Every structure is written in structure tokens, then in C-alpha cells.
Chains A and B, each alone.
Chain A
Amino acid sequence: MAQHDRLAGCLLILFGALVLWRASGFPSMAGLAYGPGLFPSIAAIGLIGCGAIIALGARRPASRDTSRSESTTGTSRRRANARMASLLGVVLGYALLLEPLGFHVASLLLVVAAARIFGLPWGRCLLLAVPLVVAVHALFYSLLHVPLPWGVLTPVAW
């Protein structure tokens, strides 16, 4: 697995600085020099320090050639990354659509899309998704009484 230590270190420094900047604006307790900002600041300083060590200690790019000679070729790696990115996209879509569309429709779409990404044929996707959504409905809605949103199906809700 190729590791991007320099990038990771820089990101940590950047993020730590951002947190530190936000935390410096927090009010302090009456009569004391510290307050709600103290703890986030400690975490932020820690992140900056670790980021610096990670970025400075990053291996020279020369050693990366050996790690790249794994069985994965260029195209299959691109495809693997695409699978992962599209799965993230599917979860993002679920977060956006769950409440407007309702649990049943959104979950059906989620399972079909995820199964497609993992390479299941269309027909079997539906064969998997329909009973699964019914089972989850029974478990969470009927048994545990979780108020799952009905969304567009609200007229037929029970």
C-alpha cells in the first residue's frame, strides 16, 4: 500500500492550525486564563507536532518504486479507487435522500447501488435488496420502534 506520509503530515499541520485558530476565539472563564478553548488547543498543538514529525520523517520517494510493484496494475488500481469513491458517493446520496424519499425507497436504492459496485448482477441485486429492506423494516421499525422516515410513502405508512 503506497503511503503518503508527507501529504498526511501537511494535512495534519493545516488542520491543527485551523483548530487552533478557531479555539483561540472561544471565551475564557471569568477570572481565569483558560476556558473551553484549552483542550481543543492542546489537541491542535499535538496534531501540528505529530504532523511535523510525520512529514519530516517521510520516506524519500525513491523507496516507493519497490512498494508499487505489487500485483495491482495501473488500470485495476484506478478501478479499485473508482469503486471506493462511488461507494462513498452512494452513502452521501443516502444521507441526502433518506428523509425526503423515506427509508424504504432510499434503502432499496442504497442496497442495489452498493451491490452493483461490488459486482452483483442487476437481477440478483433486486433479489437481495427487497427481502433485506423488509427484514430491516421488521427489525428496526416493528421490533425496536425506531421511527424510520416514510418520505414519499407516507400515505401508505402504518
Chain B
Amino acid sequence: MLVETLANLFTPEHLAVIAACTLYGTVVGAMPGLTATMAVALLVPFTYFMDPLMAISAIVATTSTAIFAGDIPGALMRIPGTPASAAYVEDAHRLSRAGRARSTLCVSLFAAAIGGLVGVAMLALIAPQLARVAMQFSSYETFWLACLGLSCAVMTSNADVAKSFASLFLGLFIASIGIDVAVGYPRFTFGNFELYDGISFIPAIIGLFALSEILRSARSGETGTRVTADQEPLPAALREALATLRRYKRNVARSSVLGTLIGALPGAGADIAAWICYAVSRRFSRQPERYGQGHVEGIVDGGSANNAAIGGAWTPALVFGIPGDSVTAIAIGILLLNGLTPGPRIFTDSPELVHTLYGAFALTNLIMIPAGLLVILVASWLLRIPRRVLMPIVLLFSLVGAYAITNSAIAIWIVLALGALGYAMEANGFPLAPAILGIVLGGIVEDNFMTSMLKAQGDLLAFFERPWAAALGTLTLLVWALLLWRAARDALRRRSPAS
């Protein structure tokens, strides 16, 4: 098995794809305004033409490096390249203004690589154990799990509960467009045959994550922030970074483990992991007053946590088919397009996929070090590429990429509609992650609900008869009750002018 995995991993094409995606992820992640999710969304049309193993490696390589590279503009321009770098941007920028940009970024890079390796090690240890339990699940349990995954996405997003739910229901509605699973009735297609297959997943995510970002950047215009140019020589920066990591090795260990666990919660991704680990680090630090003033300790924690979370997010995705964040939601969509259904059976049916995934993760985190050093060297030059050149390029790639999937202009229409929707949602405080989870999980929820209803002859109590189903169902109902209560409380509090 090991030999086979290594043989899969070390083919020239595979290595080339991983290396190319590592560089691509670093460059896109380093561009302020282009997020890691957007990097994946733009990559997806290409993965469509690869075999599934390679596609998964490409996604893993791109996300891991994009999350690290988000630290680069954070340090140099005080603009986090991806939301996951926002937690410690103040510290990174102040250090960089003090002339320590390169050593700070090297700390980020090494912390990210270690975090990523810990994340995948934990994934490899925990996921097969969970899968053994999940093997006993029937359509009842799968239905509840999908519901739970959707609800967790709402619970962990730090936006308004009602708005997160609205986003989720919009996603579920979009998922229901097209021929229905039970009797084959075309829903909401308005006679358009190209919609019978449903809203194409890839144009949908390109619209939600790429076009909406381009629109936002069109609205905000060119930012005048200058790059901090003062830089130290690389060897000195490397020495200092390694010394820093030795000093804070316990922080790296703590945040890597905690980050993986947070990432494994459905809906909580790298950004939330970074925020929580930064806060935990401050709580236990001997110098909490220096956080936010240019202290490197928080960068060690946040930097390792957000990369560890990427590995963690794959745990629920692989074991239950429930994505842990928007990127794994996209990855699940790609696996489904390739005819592979993530879930406990994937560990026995296509173990080569699982093992290649682990291998790709480990390899990426190692290749990321030289690639990251390279980008740190050219960073100040890279960040001088103005937005007015970058955005038209991204726009053309998004539209052509979407077109490549359907080979018809319907893809452009989907990108346009969902791009406008995504922009309007974000501008008004509606989070996008629940919507994308809704689009991906909508089909699974409906399939399992309909199958269960047919088996049970419409008896809703059957959803609670099996022990695991009862436990998961009760948990889901509890989460719903909690969320409902929170939404009502928020709404009431906002209405009363006293607060």
C-alpha cells in the first residue's frame, strides 16, 4: 500500500502539478483581495480535466500554500491576503515596519509547515477510526449528519444567526433546481433544458467566490497602501525565525493540535482556528499586553493554527461527506463530479485516494518551504502589481473557466447571477459559507430524507428508531433549538434602543 501510494505520488506529472499549484497558491494567496477559496474556485475548472487523485492533490497544494501566503501582504501592507491571516495582521505589520518583515514571514512559513504536517498526521490517525463507526450508518444517520453539518456551519460563523440560516436556505434552494431525485420532475427550470442537470456546481462557486470578490474590489477601487520596503538579509532572517520557533515550540504544538480540532468542526475553517488560537495564546502568554503591538508569539500560534485547520477540515469531509469549510465543500463537489462519493466507504473502496491525499498534504507542506522562501524574496515586487491589471485577468479566467465546464453560455449566466447574489449577501452581512454548504449538501440531505421517508412509509418517528440516528437526531434538534433561541434574542436585543 505504501509503495503504491508513493508510486502514485511521485509520478512526474503529479509532482509537477503539486509544484505548480504550490507556486500558484502562494502567488494568489499573496495578492490582497484574492482569497484561498477564490484560488481554489479558479483552479477547479482545471481539476475537471485531471484524474481525481491529481485533482485532490492540486486542491490540497493550493489551499495550504494560499493560507500561508495570506500572511505576506498582511505583514507588508497590513492587508491580510486571506481572512485566515487577519487575526495577527497587526503584530505582523508592526514587526515588518520595524524592519523585520522577512524574519516574521519566515516564522509564519515554518509555523505553517509544522501546523500543516501536524494537521495531516491527526487526520490520518483519527479519520479511519471515525470511519469504522460511520460504516454502520444508514440513510437516517446520514440525513441527520448532513443536517448537523449544515447547522454547525451556521453556529460557527460569527455572523447573525438569521442571516446565516437565510444563506443556508438560499443554498438549499439553489441545490433543488433541476430534475428532482424522487420522480424526475424538473423544478424551477422554466423550460430551460440546460438547467435540468441543476445549477452547475463549478460556475456557481466561481460566481459566489470569484466574481463577488472582483465586484467588491471594483467598488473599493485602488488602495493607496505602500509596501514596506525595509528588509533584512535572508540568512539572518532564517536564523532568527528558527530561534523564535525554538523559543515558542510549545505554542506551535498547542496551536497545531487545537487548530486541527477546530478545523474539523463543520463550518469552522482556517480563519476561526487562527482567531481562537491567537486568543488562547494571549490568555496563556507571559506577556499578554504585547499582543497587537508587534509581538511574534501570536503569529507563531495563528500561523500554525490556520494551516493545521486545513488538514482538520478534511476529517468530516472524508469520513461523513460533510465538508468542514468552503474549500472542502468545493473538493467534495469535485469528487462527486468524478463519481466518487466521500463517506466511510471511501476508506475501503478507494484507499488509494485517501492515502494519496495524506501524501499530497505532507509533500505540499514540505515543498511550501522553498516556494514560500522564494515568494518572500520577491514579495515586495509581487505586491506592486496593481489591482487594475490583476482584476481583469482574474475576471477573464473566471468566465472562461466556468465556460469550460458547460461549454455553453449558461455558465456565464450562472456566474453573473451568483456573483451578484454573493456580492449583495456579503455587503449586507450574510456569510457565504453556509450557502456553499447548502448547495453541496442539499442533494445529499434530500436523497437521504426521501429514501428514509420511503423506507419508513412516511413515519417521522423512524428517524429516531436506530440508536445512532436517535442520538444524532436529538443533537441536531438541540442545535436548532439553541440557534433559534439565539436568533430571537439577537433580534429582540437589536430592537430595544436601550442597548
Residues of A within 8 A of B (CB): 1, 3-5, 8, 12, 16, 19, 22-23, 26-27, 29, 32-37, 39-40, 42-44, 46-47, 49-51, 53-54, 56-60, 80-81, 83-84, 87-88, 91-92, 94-96, 98-99, 103, 107, 110-111, 114-115, 117-120, 124, 128-129, 132-133, 136, 140, 144, 146-148
Contact = CB atoms under 8 A, between A and B. Distances in A.
B482 interface: no
What secondary structure prevails in chain B residues at the interface with A?
helix
B173 interface: yes
Given A29-B182, A43-B176, A46-B169, A119 B409 contact: no
Contacts, number: 186
Interface in B151-206: 160, 162-163, 165-166, 168-170, 172-173, 176, 180, 182-183, 185, 187-188
Contacts of B430: 8
Given A54-B162, A88-B420, A118-B387, A27 B185 contact: yes
A134 to B, nearest CB: 12
A146 B162 CA distance: 42
Nearest to A108: B396
Nearest to A60: B497
A53 B488 contact: yes
Contacts of A144: 46, 49, 404
Can you list the 7 inter-chain pairs with the closest CB atoms, starting with the nearest?
Answer: A57-B491, A118-B388, A36-B180, A50-B166, A46-B169, A95-B412, A53-B162
Does more than half of chain A's interface fall in helix, strand or loop, or is it mixed? helix
Given A36-B180, A95-B412, 19 more contacts: A5-B428, A39-B449, A40-B173, A44-B169, A44-B173, A47-B169, A49-B165, A53-B488, A56-B491, A83-B219, A96-B409, A98-B412, A99-B409, A118-B222, A128-B392, A129-B392, A144-B49, A146-B404, A148-B400
Interface of B: 46, 49, 160, 162-163, 165-166, 168-170, 172-173, 176, 180, 182-183, 185, 187-188, 211, 214-215, 218-222, 387-389, 391-393, 395-397, 399-400, 403-404, 407-409, 412-413, 415-416, 419-420, 423, 427-430, 442, 445-446, 449, 453, 458, 487-488, 490-492, 494-495, 497
A47 B399 contact: no
Q: Which of B176, B188, B399, B449 has the most CB of A within 10 A?
A: B176
